[in-house]
Each structure stands twice: as structure tokens, then as C-alpha cells.
Amino acid sequence: MKLLQFGAGNIGRSFIGKIFSDASWDVVFIDVNEKLVQLLNERKYYNVIIKQEGKSDEVLRIGPVRAIHSSNETVIAEELATANLVSTSVGKAALHAIIPILAQGLKKRYHYYPDRPLDIIIAENAPGAKNFFLEILSQTLGSEYPLTELVGLVESSIGKMVPLMKKEDLEVDQLQIFAESYETLILDRLGFRGPLPGTIGNWPESIQLVDDINAFVARKLYIHNLGHVAVAYLGFMADPSLIYIADAVRLPEVRNLAFSCMKESATALVVHYPKAYNNKQLNDHIEDLLERFANRALKDTIYRVGRDLYRKLDRDDRLVGAMRLCATHRLPFSNIIKVYHAALQFEAKDEAGCYYPPDSEFRQKVLCKGLNAVLQEVSHLNPEDPIDQIVMKNISLNS
């Protein structure tokens, strides 16, 4: 069994590559980083360091693995033609670069094995990525290629937390990667065109198939991501000298307010997706997340979690998206509003004492014009939209 993994970064190596290698699959990484590809091919393994507070680091050797540089499209196409599964975790911005390469491989596979489907796990946590894949693949492969029959586009919900690697850690070993122990890979059962996980071969035991992947993508964004930035923004506001998420979530006022805003979102999610989960399940999920956020061994920073305000304050992202969901069902979201206002005061610096450049631009070009400018230019709320009106009114009233 062979997995072709596009992206040998945090999620690609610490999560997707690891669980399939552990299940004895041949794991082949595709990446743009020449040095990374070279090292993976020379060593044929890498280490995942599991960080858990109160325990010694667990060093997991992942291999054998191999890698191909993304420019070697002919070799990639040959590998894809005989792969059992493909996965991508390159980031939404890079998808446009890899989909044409995927298309080349699919054409070659169709030539060799015209009746053999191939499933592609979209491990991106990027809403709309499946439609993007469909659009580009359709254009590239043409109408004669039976896309919907031969290619399964399997959406996922990725909940694994991987902190930024520090320079000194990479100097010790450029291939090592730190991560938490969490390992559940949630996949869309309905996206598969080939055999379902568990029916043939050595499928990773950590795969969880669900029938409504949208519900779990929303859970990741509106509970996990929402709670994470809540701790970052509230923690910075409570004490700007704090560095780590684990220390921020230990402040009672931060933990309690983060819990409350996650609960507001969870209430709306249960109403919106009543068949996917219930209040108790989401409450347990929130408690588990808060415990995971408190893992000091991860050394996950407030800066990393909170940065990129243009994205995190956008209309369909964790804060505004959750508020719009609450407003749609006429449910309260006053605690999420508090986090939104805390985000407007967020000015954390990285380990070198530098601001995230786009956030500096946000403060200098938009925030200085006032709340209404942020609501319309960054959060892209429309004063003519009934749901957006509710959100804008409540954010303004509670400023």
C-alpha cells in the first residue's frame, strides 16, 4: 500500500505521514523544499517528538520514507499512477500549484488502469478546497475523463496541534518535528470512490469516518480554532508579557471566558447539525481541548496562535463565522464578541521581538479608521445582509 503525500511540513510529517507509516504503508513525500527532500532520501526516516507535560519526550522514528521534489513532475506522475491513496497538506495558497501535477498523474493512471479509482485526502482545513479541486481538475483533465467516477475527493477535519519549531531545535535535527499525541483523522465517508478505510489493507486505526464532514469541519473551526484564538487574545490582554498558550489558559478569567465562547458556538452547532453530535459530546470536546491547550511541553506561543488578523477576523473564519452561525439561529454570542474586541488589541511579538508584518499593516491601515472599517474591510460584513446586520449591531453595542 502506497501513500503519496503532497507536503512534508507540520501536518504532512507529524500526522498524515506518521499514521500511514505506522500502518506499514510506503510513504512518499512531495515537497518544494530541496534540502528537506534531500535529507528524507538520505536518512529515509525522521523523528516525531511527542510533547506531553509531566512526561519525558517520546521519540517516534517514522520510516522508511522517501521524497520527491515537486519539480520532478514525470516521476511524481509515475508514482501517482500506482498509488493507493494521495493526501495533500500544502496550505490553501499552494493548491493551485499541485493540482495540475495531480492531473498529470491521473492521466497516466487512467492510461495504465482505466478502471482503478484514486482517493485524494484534502488535509487542508480549508473550506471550499474540494470545489477548488473539482474546478481545476475538470478544466485540466477535460470532459472525456470520468472525474466523478475515478477520483474521490475526501475532505477532512484536522485537529492535531503542531507548534512552530525554534531555530535551535532545527539546528539539532532539521527533520525532527514536535507534536502533541492527538491522532484522530476525521474523513468524509461519502468522498471515497475506492475501498473504504478498514475494508482492505492496513488502514490506520486512528481514521474516523463521518457522514457529514461539514459538521466536523465547522466543529474544528468554530470550537477548536475559536477557543485557541480566544485563549491567545484574552491571554495577551490579561498579561502582554505571557509567551505561551499553556500559561494563558491557566488564568481563570481566560479559561472561563474561552470556555463560555466555545459553548456559545457549540450550542449553535448542535442546532445547525443535530444529527452529527449533541451538547454533551461537544461539551466533552471543549473540556478536552482546554486540557490540550494547557500542555506546557508543546511550548505553543500566543503569537503563533493569534497572528494573522486579516484571516482570523474574516467573515467565514472562526470568530465572525461563529457569530454569524449564532445569529442565524437567533442565539446569543456576547462572549465571542468579547474575544473579537480582544483581537483588536492583539500585538504579540515573535521570539525575535518582531510583529507579524500583515498585523502591523492591519493596525496602521484599517484599525486606525475605527471599528466600522474593521467590520466591513476585514470582516467583510455587509450592512444590507440581515444576519450581518445582527452581528455588526451587537459588536458595535458591546465595544
Write out pLDDT tens, residues 60-70. 999 999 999 99
Find all residues with CB under 8 Å of 66, minimum gap 6, and list them.
27, 28, 29, 40, 41, 44
Reply yes or no on whether the pLDDT at 106 is more than 90.
yes
Looking at every residue in the chain, the average pLDDT score rounds to 96
What pLDDT score does 349 carry? 96
Tell me how many degrees the CA angle 112-115-121 measures, rounded to the nearest 5. 90
> What is each CA distance from 331 to 29, 267, 278, in whole angstroms?
45, 8, 16
**CA 227 → CA 91, 154, 230, 336, 378, distances in Å?**
21, 26, 5, 10, 20
The C-alpha cell at 182 is 492527538
The whole-number pLDDT of residue 270 equals: 98
pLDDT of residue 147 exceeding 80? yes
- Rounded CA separation 332/329 (Å): 9
- pLDDT at residue 399 above 80? no
% residues pLDDT > 70 (the chain): 100
pLDDT score of 348 more than 90: yes
pTM summary value? 0.93
CB atoms within 10 A of CB 41: 14
Q: Please give the pLDDT value at position 125.
A: 79
Residue 49's φ and ψ, nearest 5 degrees, are -100, 110
Q: 178 forms bridges with which residues in the sheet?
A: 49
The two beta strands, 46-50 and 58-62, are antiparallel
Q: Binning pLDDT at 50, 70 and 90, where does residue 90 land?
A: very high
pLDDT digits (tens, 9 = 90+) for 210-260: 999 999 999 999 999 999 999 999 999 999 999 999 999 999 999 999 999
Please, which pLDDT band fits residue 126 given cuts at 50, 70 and 90? confident
Residue pair 29/52 in contact (Cβ under 8 Å)? The answer is no
**Lowest mean pLDDT segment, chosen from 125-129, 234-238, 350-354, 382-386:** 125-129
pLDDT computed for residue 163 by the predictor: 85
Q: What is the pLDDT of residue 98?
A: 94
pLDDT, residue 164, reads 80
Residue 88 scores a pLDDT above 90: yes
At residue 190 the predicted structure's pLDDT band, cuts being 50, 70 and 90, is very high
Residues 34-52: what's their mean pLDDT?
A: 97
How far, CA to CA in Å, does 49 sit from each of 161, 162, 253, 349? 13, 10, 32, 26
pLDDT of residue 395: 98
- Asked if 56 and 74 touch (Cβ cutoff 8 Å), the reply is no
Q: How far is CA 38 from the centre of its chain?
A: 26
Kindly report the backbone phi and psi dihedral angles of residue 104, in degrees, each rounded to the nearest multiple of 5, phi listed first.
-60, -45
All 3 cell numbers of residue 216?
A: 466536523
Residue 321 pLDDT > 80: yes
Q: Would the pLDDT of 200 be above 90?
A: no
Residue 127: pLDDT band by 50, 70, 90 thresholds?
confident
Query: What span, in angstroms and rounded, lies between the C-alpha atoms of 162 and 171?
Result: 18
Q: Where does the pLDDT of residue 360 fall: very low under 50, low under 70, confident under 90, or very high at 90 and above?
A: very high
Stated length of the chain: 399
Grid-cell match 475526501, residue found: 154
